[in-house]
Structure 1
Amino acid sequence: MCSAASSQQRIVIVGGGTAGWLTANHLARALDEKFAASTAKPYSITLIESPNIPTVGVGEGTVPSIRDSLHYFGISESELIKRCSATFKQSIDFIGWQPPQSDGAQHVYQHIFDYPQIESEEALCDWINHGFKAANFADTFSVQSHLVQAGLAPKKFIQAEFHGVCNYAYHFDAAKFSELLAENATQRLGVDYQQLEIAKGVKNNAGGIAYLLTENGQRIEAELFIDCSGGRSLLLGQCLETEFISKADEIFTDTAIATQVAYSSIKKTIACATLATAHRAGWIWDIGLVERRGVGIVYSSQHMTEADARETLAHYIGLEDQNNLLTEPRKIPMRSGHYAQFWRNNCVAIGMSQGFVEPLEATGLLMFDKTAQLLAQMLSEADSTSLTLSLSSGQLQRRFNQQLCSVWEGVFDFIKLHYCLSQRDDSDFWRAHRDMNTWSPQLIQMLTKWHTQLPSQIDLRPGVFNLANHLYVLLGMDVRPLLNTNVDNSDGQLSGQQRSIMQAHLASLNKVLMPHRELIEKVHEYGLQRI
């Protein structure tokens, strides 16, 4: 690496996994476009991965924006599905996040990926004041919730890759996904790959990183170091000693226990949604891949012992499926929070090394992807002729840090929203979340306003979760603004018309969409049409 031409700006990514390889692909693709006319690349990208650190392998859920990134990288959707045991994800189904209904049935709502088809503000007001008694928000304003319940895929087999009748994302094997990203980065985009054990980063007099030191004493120098070392944050946290802002007083869940469960039958129906089932001190995820399910419990160690958590997880999996466990349930500590800076001097952190929040709403992979994309865009757009100026630009660093701080704060507010709206009263865990002392000032302000007004996009910080995301959670959790009854006097007619439109749309889709597993099998056999 040190033999690179002196004119090249060396970018070194420390750590592989999903965060490292997403970063490598984003940077390589963006900088290739920026310097396409150059006779020689003015940069080199090297990813260094420890041979001794296993992939965590929990981040198996995504959000729809991952499709844009994969297409941008040049990875085909067929390749993803075939190689990563991938399935389609259209929703997160929240089960038991509110107390049982009057008939004893569990409370269920869906955070689907299609934007709600709200014809007018009057129609939404009509549903809030009257129509909610006939049907829930997702069922009224989108057809996708019906597709999920019916087990139908979000696209027709004849549709090209990354296109569908509804917005969608994926579930996949995280380790296999990292391998696919690594192959694409090294074989198609020219990223250099080395397996080395990095002992530490060594600071320079300017407060940045002078070089990396390997276990065998080798020095590795670069103009930009990208820390993708995971929760240990080897460079930003340990070497540069950057302040960490803990969110443990807002997000109580701090531990997960994960396992993999084989289907009892290979023809088992594959859920089109991540199932998120609440328990007395957190929730359980259930993700369906082609041959297996990824299942895990998220809990607060202040409110539940490890033994109780393992028992709760075993009870959820059930006696029949205990013999189908593919992996021993594995404990994973979680530290909620983020660093005060994400780009310091010549070091940028991406992935768990910059911050972490529990895996509700697939925030992990979402933040990995969006952060890597932001860095790549800034470096490629900052200066038309030189990468040197971009790497040392204080203005870029400030912009990057300001934007990401806002994004992270919005993410924590959005995750907290799921908990603080719950009226569950069966444990201290749920009651503690309703204590407004554990809410951020921004969240208090938003919820106070939304008590009497419809939410709007301007209420939210710029970030990764928009108005539609908040509406699905707020209205799904039965939190409806106390609107002035004079806003509408249609007595449920407008929302009834809206449901009729959705039902007609659903009838047409029922004729052309396959069951989820059937489409996956077709893709494995024939592949999808390339764009």
Structure 2
Amino acid sequence: MRIVIVGGGSAGWMAAAALGRVIGDQWTIELVESDAIGTVGVGEATIPAIRRFNELIGIDEAEFVRRTQGSFKLGIEFVGWHGGEDSRYLHAFGQVGRDLGLIPFHHYWLQARARGAAERLERYSQSGTAAWANRFMREEALPGTPLGSATYAYHFDAGLYAAFLREIAEGLGVVRHEGRISTVHHDGESGHVAVVELEDGRRVAGDLFVDCSGFVSLLLGQTMGVDFVDWSEWLPMDRALAVPCESVEPVTPFTRSTARAAGWQWRIPLQHRIGNGHVYCSDFISDDEAAAVLLANLDGKPLADPRPLRFTTGRRREFWRGNVVALGLSSGFLEPLESTSIHLVQSGLQHLIDLLPNGGIDPVDVAKFNDKLVFEYERIRDFIILHYYANDRDGAFWQRCREMRVPDTLAEKIALFRGNGRIFRTADELFTELGWLQVMVGQGIVPRSHHPLADKPGNANIDLYLAGIRDLVQAKVDRMPDHRAYLNQLSETPTEVFA
């Protein structure tokens, strides 16, 4: 069997490295890309699943952080999304509190909160408390405490990551072809893609093609004719501007998302610079105004002119048709509010590996692949919509978001939580109950009540239980070094290099 990956960037080289590691000794794996075609990657924030991917392909974490100018990420800080311009909350990774008896921690927290006796959710989260203290370490949990092991992800330079992955993939035997594709040839009998022909006449044949061609979706969209499902009804942002700026201290171990008049601004701290961007809806703000907002809110001197991106939020109706599987932007686009773009590539790869054909391509496997990816895209979509829908900001854009009719799957989540604080995770959807909890609370959704069993211990015992968790969290965080100091220790690189 021959696998041909069309397109490089993070998606293409993630596919090449993963497939090279898993099946490179059995199948031929080739990648076609052109240096003349730019990639969208401008700096990436990720979620903890990226650690599993790096482990799969054998990346040493310290080398990864050095090679990509990376930093650690404990969650996402949301500024100004609900409660005023200076309001902030964290969607922190990992454990929040500790469940007690038959019900989750958050019901006891809601019980105490109704009495004015609970602190912010972040105070019961190791990642949340450490993030706002600018501290980090990978140390395992303290024995005998309710705290879990450190849960974290990374910020990194996407271009450096792709180059690192290319090095790994080529070391595993993946063959790279440089050049633009001029023609895609079909098999006349099956309708499958048979060959991609480059402008200089070279032909690359394959049995399975992985489309990582970006927004153009050369194989899945253009060649196989899979149409696009538009979600701009719920997520109307259609443009972004990205610009790096000089680094400043501290190097925060979290991504920041700051609400703006017609969208939001990201901040991704790397070792050598800060990645920034403004995601916005062009119906409510001009490109020049959006650029002015972005440049006026940088922490350091800009290192380039803002780079424009245009997009439509949504997905391909199918992710696998015939012998073409799409990954990354060629399969769909969900804005980076919750840092899910790299994860969706990783998830698609995992499902592809699970369903790799043995001989011919089985339509049953294709259908299962599509079902899994449709489910994942739609549930991530709902989670992102939640941030916009549950807002109390002024302005026409935010009013439009508050007044939209959300998908039924999201409406049910909100109604269950608004009633008695109940959160149920459906199947293997990406975001856990704790993720939904932090965002719904942060966006101002207050349940009318809590589970009746949360009253059973009595107020005094609940207060002791919450205080005990808070104090254990704080004690663990107090033992952590400063994030920059930890990065310097890991990379054995003096701070002056990045000052």
TM-score (normalised: structure 2):
0.91
Structure 1 gap ranges (5+): 1-8, 33-40
- Point out the more displaced range, 198-207 or 462-471: 198-207
Partner of 2:407: 440
Q: Could you say what secondary structure the match of 2:41 adopts?
A: coil
Which of 275, 283, 287 pairs up with 2:264? 283
Aligned runs of 1:417-436 on 2, under 5 Å?
A: 417-424=386-393, 426-436=394-404
* Cross-structure match for 2:442: 476
Distance in 1 (CA, whole Å) between partners of 2:371 and 2:401 is 28
Q: 1:501 aligns with which of 455, 464, 468?
A: 468
| Equivalence for 1:96 | 80
Q: Check the 8 A contact 1:154/1:167 in 2, yes or no.
A: no
Tell me if 1:114 matches 2:85.
no
> Do 2:109 and 2:466's aligned partners in 1 also have CA atoms closer than 8 Å?
no
* CA deviation map 1:342-401 (0-9, x unaligned): 11111110110001011111111111111112212221xx6xxxx314xx1111101101
- Aligned with 1:130 (options 98, 101, 112): 112
Q: CA deviation at 1:28?
A: 1.9
1:434 aligned counterpart, secondary structure? helix
Q: C-alpha distance in 1, partners of 2:109/2:475? A: 24
SS at match of 2:69: coil
Could you tell me whether the CA contact under 8 Å between 1:140 and 1:499 is conserved in 2? no
Counterpart of 2:221, as a letter, is: G
Equivalent position SS for 1:432: helix
Find the aligned partners of 2:6 and 2:433 in 1 and give their Cα distance.
36
Whether contact under 8 Å (1:89, 1:171) holds in the other structure is yes
Give per-residue Cα distances to partners, 1:153-197, cap 9 Å, x unaligned: 13249x9xxxx942000001110011111111111x221112121
Confirm or deny that 1:12 pairs with 2:4: yes
Q: 1:61 aligns with which of 26, 41, 45?
A: 45
Summarize the Cα distance change of 1:59–1:249 in structure 2 as closer, same or farther, 3 Å threshold.
Answer: farther
Confirm whether residue 248 of structure 1 aligns to residue 237 of structure 2: no
Pick aligned residue for 2:491 from 524, 527, 530: 524
Aligned counterpart, 2:497: none
Aligned residues of 2:69 and 2:270 also touching (Cα < 8 A)? yes
Task: Give the letter for the 1:398 counterpart.
Answer: A
Cα distance in 2 between the residues matched to 1:243 and 1:494: 57
Query: Which residue number in structure 2 is paired with residue 326 of structure 1?
Result: 303
- Equivalent AA in structure 2 for residue 180 of structure 1: F
Alignment length, in residue pairs? 484
**What is the CA-CA distance between 1:404 and the residue it aligns to?**
0.6
Alpha-carbon displacement from aligned partner over 1:54-92 (angstroms, at most 9, x marks no partner):
232224101111111111101100111111101000010
Query: What is the aligned-residue RMSD (CA, Å)?
Result: 2.4
Equivalent residue for 2:27? 43
* Larger CA deviation: 117-126 vs 174-183: 117-126
In structure 2, what is the Cα distance between the partners aligned to 1:219 and 1:485?
64
Say if 1:186 and 1:192, in contact at 8 Å, map to a contact too: yes
1:416 maps to: 385
Give identity over the alignment, percent.
Answer: 31
Matched, 1:258 2:242: yes
In the TM superposition, residue 125 of structure 1 has moved relative to its aligned partner by 2.5
Q: What CA distance in whole angstroms lies between the structure 2 residues aligned with 1:232 and 1:468?
A: 36
Alpha-carbon separation, structure 1, partners of 2:294 and 2:419: 39
Displacement of 1:304 = 1.1
Counterpart AA for 2:126: V
Aligned: 1:366 with 2:348: no
SS at 2:45 equivalent: coil
Instruction: Select 1:454's aligned residue among 416, 421, 439.
Output: 421
Give the 3-state SS of the residue equivalent to 1:67 in structure 2: helix
